[in-house]
Structures are given as structure tokens and as C-alpha cells.
Amino acid sequence: MGWPTTSHLLPRDTKILTIGLHPGALDYSRMPDGVDEAALTARIDAARTALREAGFDVVQCLIDTSPDRAEEAVRKRLQEHEFGLAMIGGGVRMLPENTLLFERLVNVLSEAAPGIRLCFNSAPENTVEALGRWIEA
């Protein structure tokens, strides 16, 4: 696809890959009170609805914490479509134990989809905002 790596916004019809941890992959004993698999699943579903309502062309890729399995899942998605933007979720980036996972994802995206832009959210609730920083309104 070869998108320029500048601050210019991408066209509204850009296909977007969102990558996040599957709710079943997390150790909830280390999470704040009130965060459990059901609650996180509901938040992800609400974010997916918000993305659709905002008109984004999104393909979701929920991964587990194994770098090998995550890389395989992302490579599979990258073979299915040509993406201009990838969003890597906060659970991948913000948990120290996922540092290698994050590195692997950045590298597979760079290798398999040269020119793809990256953006980041910090929670499912601000995914629309994260994508909006890089996609035309």
C-alpha cells in the first residue's frame, strides 16, 4: 500500500486493523476491582459498536499473550486485507509482561505491511479517538 509516513490524515475509507488482547487471555487477579472478563468483553463490544457507528472500516484481531500465536493471528489478518492503519491496544503496550509481545507486533506490522501507520489507545473507550487522530473526518 505504501502510505506516506507523514502527519497527513488517511482517507476515510482506509481499512483499519485493531489488535487487542482477548478478554480470556488476561490474569484478572492483577486487575483493579470491577475488571473481569465479562466487564472487559462488554467494553470491547461497546467500542466495536462505536467504531461501526463512527463509520470506520475496522477488522478486529483479538490475540492471546503468546508472541508466537499473536504474530500468527496478525499475519493471517494482514493476508486477508490491505490495511492503512493498525491500532495496538493498551493491554498489549501497558502491561510490562507484554513488552516482547508488543515488540513482536510492531515488527510484524512493519515487515508484513510496509508503510502502515500505527496508533494506540489506552482503553476500549478511547479507540474512536485514537483512530480519529489519523483518519479524515
Instruction: Give pLDDT tens digits for 68-123.
Output: 999 999 999 999 999 999 999 999 999 899 999 999 999 999 999 999 999 999 99
Residue 115: what are its φ and ψ, rounded to 5°? Answer: 90, -5
C-alpha span between 82 and 114 (Å, rounded): 11
pLDDT, tens digit, 9 for 90 and up, residues 28-67:
888 888 889 999 999 999 999 999 999 999 999 999 999 9
Nearest to 63 by CA among 31, 17, 9: 17
For residues 81 and 17, give the distance between their C-alpha atoms in angstroms, rounded to a whole number: 9
Beta carbons within 10 angstroms of residue 58's beta carbon:
19
Q: Indicate the pTM of the whole model.
A: 0.91
